[in-house]
Amino acid sequence: MSAIYGVFGAPSNQDATAMGRRLQHRETVAKEWSPEDHASALQATILDTARRQCERYEAVGVSLSGGLDSALGVAAIRRVWPGKKIFTFSAGYGAEDLELRQAAEVAEHF
């Protein structure tokens, strides 16, 4: 049961695929994942995404916030496209803004 009429949760051992107006349920087999398995799968997904999203562009632009997520995006692009031109952009509250300083460090590093 959910707050949206006609929408229901699925058991944790199932996934669902929409086929037009029909929903196909499939039972999944649970796999025991080690922390290394999780890290490896996450890394592969991030790098594959960077590869696919940037492949058709000669140069890319990334908005750096000074946080981990935007730094990870720039690092992934640099890893899969070592020669690609990366332009970074940031906005903040002046030279003393910690996030701007962190964004500048990331931009200089990559």
Torsion angle, alpha carbons of 42, 48, 49, 53, to 10: 170
The candidate with the shortest Cα–Cα distance to 91, out of 80, 72, 74, 104, is: 104
What are the tens digits of pLDDT across the range 34-89? 899 989 999 999 999 999 999 999 999 999 998 999 999 999 999 999 999 999 99
Where do the domains of the chain lie? Answer: 56-110
pTM (two decimals): 0.69
CA distance 14 to 32: 16
